[in-house]
């Protein structure tokens, strides 16, 4: 038994290391932006806190965002800046930190599978969560809903699994993890309320108090941070709800029908949605709470007018764990018929190969903004989310080591898709150039341009430096002059963006 236990730990350790390499490697190999919030609601304010400069959006002017996550990321940036020149060092550090947090999903998948179906189911669940393309893609991203998921799942697991620590300690720790996820993503209230009811339903007297105290503890920390960073405690909670739900600010960024998340999932999973859902339904018989939570997360977000695929990310690892449990159940049923262990091993390897092949196939077509199709493979990897705004990010990152920059103009590159000072890392002004007349007005303020269209013919003093496909860096000789109230932060403040 000791040998088997050590062997299990060895395999799990190898799997976790492989998952970490996969996530960090993909993030560094394919720098991209899925949605601008991953930069300007977390990394950019973190950069401003750590190094003193950054683009400030309306959320951080009006005070509807918490400084907890940006504050933690700012510390990571300062601690890891030595790992590379310019912005490279702390970008590696941030990707490594966020990827490490995401490993909780794999550990929970293993432990959950172990409780349900033993070692075989445990490794099937863990491998699926390791290789599934959406979990790999989103794990290193600084979205609050993604980071919240990495605390939500362990919190749910500790809450429902008995015989782990003493009951009070286990429930208090579960509550702390649930509270952290709630502080990061207030929209998870319906899922967390359901979790508390599910956990305490058979013994309210002994279970409710420790789990509620656990939830309150981190929420108080979030409220205290708001008290020091904004005018009022818990301001980022109630003001966010007021501005987006009551005033309807979020509708300015798009309104979608109630079934939009179903369309998103079909776009992402294609016809593989059918076997994935069937396997997840099989798994839900053994672990109904995961099925209910995934459904609650999707339905509760479907009631909101503004919808983005990342909002339902917390449901994705839950569905994958359920599908892993369903897959494990099929393999175990077959192994009971086959006396030969060799056939069982072959069945396990075949299942994992099919899951891996499916993940690779869907990654090759992963773009939820494309029209709905039911193809199996994509024909152009550059048309996927892996390459979204990659050229802009690489161009700004290359300038982060250029000491001669005294000002930067963005020509044909929208600031929201630029990577901001997070990638630029130079303490100089950025100017948004939308039309040719902007050159004449602002040309004295910058000596470098990043553009994806040709420089106006009358400005021949700019010479081409380097290109990443259509995105190029241009430079002119000479210095820069300060132009008052025309840099990107001044423009955003005037426009209310």
- Same-domain pairing of 336 and 401: no
pLDDT of residue 1: 43
Residue 39 lies in a domain: no
- The mean predicted confidence, pLDDT, of the chain is 93
As a three-state string, the secondary structure of 193-212 is HHHHHHHHCCCHHHHHHHHH
* Residue 44 placed within a domain: no
The pLDDT tens digits for 21-51 are 999 999 999 999 999 999 999 999 999 999 9
Q: Which residues lie closer than 8 Å to 10 by C-beta, 6 or more apart?
A: none
pLDDT at 104 over 50: yes
pLDDT of residue 334: 80
215, 319: one domain:
yes
Segment among 79-93, 418-432, 441-455 with least mean pLDDT:
441-455
Whether the CB-CB separation of 149 and 177 falls below 8 Å is answered with no
Average pLDDT over residues 87-108: 97
Judge contact between 447 and 475, C-beta under 8 A: yes
Of 142, 134, 173, nearest to 157 by C-alpha is 173
Tell me what percent of the residues of the chain surpass a pLDDT of 70: 99
Q: Could you tell me the CATH number of the domain that includes residue 401? A: 3.40.190
| Poorest-pLDDT segment among 144-153, 437-446, 455-464 | 455-464
380 domain residue, yes or no: no
260, 405: one domain: no
pLDDT at 459 over 90: no
Number of domains in the chain: 2
- Average confidence (pLDDT) over 219-226: 97
Residue whose C-alpha is closest to residue 273's, from 136, 139, 369, 134 = 134
Q: What stretch of H or E contains 226?
A: helix 204-229
Neighbours of 3 (CB within 10 A): 7
**Which band of pLDDT confidence, cut at 50, 70 and 90, is reported for residue 5?**
low
Distances (CA, A) of 153 to 26, 106, 162, 316, 338: 23, 10, 16, 11, 35
- Mean pLDDT is lowest, of 215-224, 236-245, 451-460, for 451-460
β 463-468/448-451 pair status: unpaired
Q: How far apart are CA 81 and CA 88, in angstroms?
A: 8
Q: Residues 172-193: pLDDT tens digits? A: 999 999 999 999 999 999 999 9
State mean pLDDT over 374-381: 90
Region 107-136: mean pLDDT is 95
pLDDT on residue 339: 66
45 is a domain residue: no
Looking at the fold, whether 190 and 298 belong to one and the same domain comes out as yes
Cα–Cα dist 409/430, whole Å = 6
C-alpha–C-alpha distance, residues 114 and 127, integer Å: 13
% of the chain residues with pLDDT over 90: 82
Residue partners of 404: CB distance under 8 A and separation at least 6: 447, 475
Domain that holds residue 413: 390-495
In a domain, residue 46? The reply is: no
328, 455: one domain? no
For residue 360, the SS3 value is helix
Domain match, 312 and 417 both? no
Q: What is the mean pLDDT of residues 74-95?
A: 97
Q: Are residues 287 and 403 in the same domain?
A: no
Tokens representing 91? Answer: 């970008």
Task: Return phi, psi of residue 465, to 5°.
Answer: -105, -55
- Does residue 212 fall inside a structural domain? yes
Q: Are 396 and 357 part of one and the same domain?
A: no
206 pLDDT above the threshold of 50: yes
Residue 90 or residue 496, greater confidence: 90
Domain check: are 2 and 94 in the same one? yes
Q: Is residue 48 part of a domain?
A: no
Q: What is the mean pLDDT of residues 65-92?
A: 97
Comparing C-alpha atoms, which of 394, 440, 449, 447 is closest to residue 417?
394
Answer yes or no: is pLDDT of 338 > 50.
yes
Same-domain status, 289 and 172: yes
Same domain, residue pair 239 and 145? yes
Same domain? For 106 and 240 the reply is yes
Position 57 in a domain: no
Average pLDDT in the 454-460 region? 81
């Amino acid at each position: 038994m000791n040998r088997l236990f050590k062997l299990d730990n060895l395999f799990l350790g190898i799997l976790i290391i492989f998952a970490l390499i996969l996530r960090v490697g993909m993030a560094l190999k394919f720098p991209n932006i899925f949605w601008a919030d991953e930069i300007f609601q977390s990394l950019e304010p973190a950069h401003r806190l750590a190094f003193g400069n950054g683009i400030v959006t309306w959320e951080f002017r009006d005070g509807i965002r918490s400084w907890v996550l940006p504050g933690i990321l700012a510390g990571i940036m300062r601690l890891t800046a030595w790992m590379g020149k310019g912005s490279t060092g702390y970008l590696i550090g941030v990707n490594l930190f966020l990827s490490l947090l995401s490993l909780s999903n794999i550990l929970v998948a293993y432990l959950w599978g172990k409780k349900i179906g033993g070692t075989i189911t445990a490794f099937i669940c863990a491998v699926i969560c390791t290789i599934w393309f959406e979990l790999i893609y989103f794990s290193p991203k600084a979205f609050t809903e993604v980071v919240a998921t990495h605390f939500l799942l362990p919190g749910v697991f500790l809450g429902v699994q008995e015989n782990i620590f003493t009951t009070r300690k286990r429930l208090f720790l579960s509550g702390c993890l649930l509270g952290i996820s709630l502080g990061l993503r207030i929209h998870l209230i319906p899922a967390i309320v359901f979790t508390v009811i599910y956990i305490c339903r058979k013994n309210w007297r002994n279970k409710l108090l420790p789990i509620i105290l656990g939830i309150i503890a981190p929420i108080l920390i979030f409220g205290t941070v708001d008290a020091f960073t904004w005018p009022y405690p818990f301001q980022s909670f109630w003001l966010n709800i007021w501005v987006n739900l009551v005033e309807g600010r979020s509708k300015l960024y798009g309104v979608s029908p109630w079934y939009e998340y179903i369309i998103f999932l079909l776009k992402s999973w294609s016809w593989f949605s059918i076997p994935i859902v069937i396997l997840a339904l099989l798994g839900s018989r053994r672990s109904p709470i995961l099925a209910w939570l995934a459904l609650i997360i999707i339905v509760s977000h479907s009631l909101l007018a503004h919808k983005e695929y990342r909002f339902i990310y917390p449901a994705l690892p839950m569905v994958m764990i359920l599908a892993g449990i369903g897959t494990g159940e099929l393999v175990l049923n077959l192994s009971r018929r086959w006396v030969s262990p060799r056939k069982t091993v072959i069945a396990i390897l075949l299942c994992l190969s099919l899951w891996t092949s499916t993940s690779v196939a869907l990654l090759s077509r992963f773009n939820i903004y494309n029209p709905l199709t039911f193809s199996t493979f994509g024909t152009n990897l550059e048309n996927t989310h892996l390459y979204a705004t990659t050229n802009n990010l690489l161009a700004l990152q290359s300038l982060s080591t250029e000491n001669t920059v005294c000002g930067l103009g963005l020509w044909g590159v929208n600031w929201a898709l630029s990577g901001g000072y997070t990638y630029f890392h130079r303490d100089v002004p950025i100017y948004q150039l939308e039309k040719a007349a902007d050159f004449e007005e602002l040309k004295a303020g910058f000596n470098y341009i990043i553009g994806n269209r040709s420089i106006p013919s009358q400005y021949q003093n700019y010479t081409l430096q380097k290109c990443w496909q259509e995105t190029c860096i241009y430079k002119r000789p000479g210095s820069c002059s300060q132009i008052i109230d025309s840099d990107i932060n001044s423009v955003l403040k005037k426009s209310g963006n």
